[in-house]
Amino acid sequence: MSIPDADTIHIGLVVDPYYGRWFATQTATWALDLTGELLAALGAEPTLVVDGVTQPVPRPLPDRLAATVPAGAGHHAVVLRRRQAAS
């Protein structure tokens, strides 16, 4: 996990090609447990993106967020981003 700035959290997931063979053809739902500090940093309406696809985020933001990871072994990217105010 990396936090390059206060508004974005990057989480890298790696599904091993051998041990994760099931996930080569099946989606997986990961539960992301968010601490109070992360919840506060993300604000009321964050954006969740998994492998470049935006996913819905329930309102109010729960402390356990479901992220659906598409089928496939290898690297997957999960990004949580604070919603930017309209300018």
Delimit the domains of the chain by residue range.
2-79
35 burial level (CB within 10 Å; 0-12, 13-18, 19+):
exposed
- Residue 69 to residue 76: CA distance in whole angstroms: 7
- pTM as predicted: 0.82
What's the pLDDT score for residue 83?
77
State percent of the chain over pLDDT 90. Answer: 53
What's the pLDDT score for residue 19?
86
Q: Is the pLDDT of residue 18 over 60?
A: yes
Q: Give the DSSP letter string of 6-45.
A: TTEEEEEEEE-TTTTGGGGTS-EEEEEE--HHHHHHH-SS
